Amino acid sequence: MQRESVAVVTGSSSGNGFETSLLLAKNRFYTYATMRKLEKSARIKEIAKKDSLPIEVLQLDVTDDKSVTDAIDVISNRQGRIDVLVNNAGYEQHGPVEELSMEEIKTQFETNFFGAVRVMKAVLPMMRKQRSGTIVNVSSIGGKIGVPLNSAYVGSKFALEGFSESMKYELEGFGIKVILIEPGAVNTNYLENSRQAQKAMNPDSPYAELSKMVSEGVRERFKETSSSCPMQVAEVILTAIKSDKPNTRYLVGNDAIAINERRKSSSDSELERWIKEGLLEQKGFINK
């Protein structure tokens, strides 16, 4: 009988990670649905039990060295291998650069970028020895295009993109694949979990009006019927993992596809004009 593949997913308490863990388990991956707060595990455990899915929940906070090594050690000791890592944990830090504290920017990178790096470094020795493995890094269409008041988040995802694209070359010879997933807006707990720069909350902030306009624009995008559901992200991740020769990048959602097309077909100045028209000019913040 064919051996069951072992998958590890970070940030499985909700949204994309939750659906990805369930979908992988339904597709015969023995899945470690990891999350930083085990008190959020009741729902996934209930579904796993009801549907007899091969899911185990483990505590893993991507910002904590010990939590990451402890979780990966448990998996290596129990399974002796890890076939798939889905680096999904993340959140969005909003705010104008001037009003973001260094702490807020570092915390953003600590989760979205260094968090993913930390887990990759923990699984790589095992994947290298077994001479196979797939690492899926959940980036964003924001990993390809700058948007106002989003420098910290976009910066963390650009970093993840460049890191993944580069490491791919050194890992190929060991049979390890690296894949980027680039969703547009997805209806998860993402907006509720996003953080606002503390200083920008002050109504006297010179950026208060801009912040209000941009956040209204973002909320509208999430309301649009074109935004994706987390199951779509999970399905794209599964397709990528199952592919013998996966693409480097997979877009998810019509909005991500449209933005990517626009990015490919535009010069920098054309792209900047398009972003301004979409997010700022309509609201009268800047003159045409």
| Residues at the contact surface with ligand NAP, assessed by CB under 6 A | 10-11, 13-17, 35-37, 40, 61-63, 88-91, 111, 115, 138, 140, 183, 185-186, 188-190, 193, 230
Strand-pair partners of 5: 29
**From the CB of 95, what's the least distance to ligand NAP, in Å?**
16
Which of 30, 32, 153, 250 does the annotation list as catalytic? 153
Residue number, nearest CB to ligand NAP:
15
* Dihedral, 121, 124, 125, 131 alpha carbons, nearest 10: -170
> What beta strand segments (E) does 104-219 contain?
133-138, 176-183, 195-196
Check if the beta carbon of residue 55 is closer than 8 Å to that of residue 22: yes
**From the CB of 115, what's the least distance to ligand NAP, in Å?**
6
**From the CB of 73, what's the least distance to ligand NAP, in Å?**
17
Between 63 and 130, whose beta carbon lies closer to ligand NAP? 63
Distance of alpha carbon 242 from alpha carbon 216, whole angstroms: 38
Q: Find the helix or strand (DSSP H, E) in which 31 lies.
A: strand 29-35
Between 91 and 285, whose beta carbon lies closer to ligand NAP? 91
Dihedral over Cα of 13, 17, 23, 25: its sign: negative
Give the number of C-alpha atoms closer than 13 A to the C-alpha of residue 51, restricted to the C-beta side.
15
Cα 159 to its chain centre, rounded Å, is 12
**From the CB of 55, what's the least distance to ligand NAP, in Å?**
15
Between 18 and 29, whose beta carbon lies closer to ligand NAP? 18
Q: Is 32 an annotated catalytic residue?
A: no
Between 15 and 133, whose beta carbon lies closer to ligand NAP? 15
**From the CB of 99, what's the least distance to ligand NAP, in Å?**
21
Check if the beta carbon of residue 71 is closer than 8 Å to that of residue 48: no
Distance of alpha carbon 243 from alpha carbon 149, whole angstroms: 36
Q: Report the DSSP pairing between strands 249-252 and 195-196.
A: unpaired
Between 138 and 197, whose beta carbon lies closer to ligand NAP? 138
- List the catalytic residues: 153
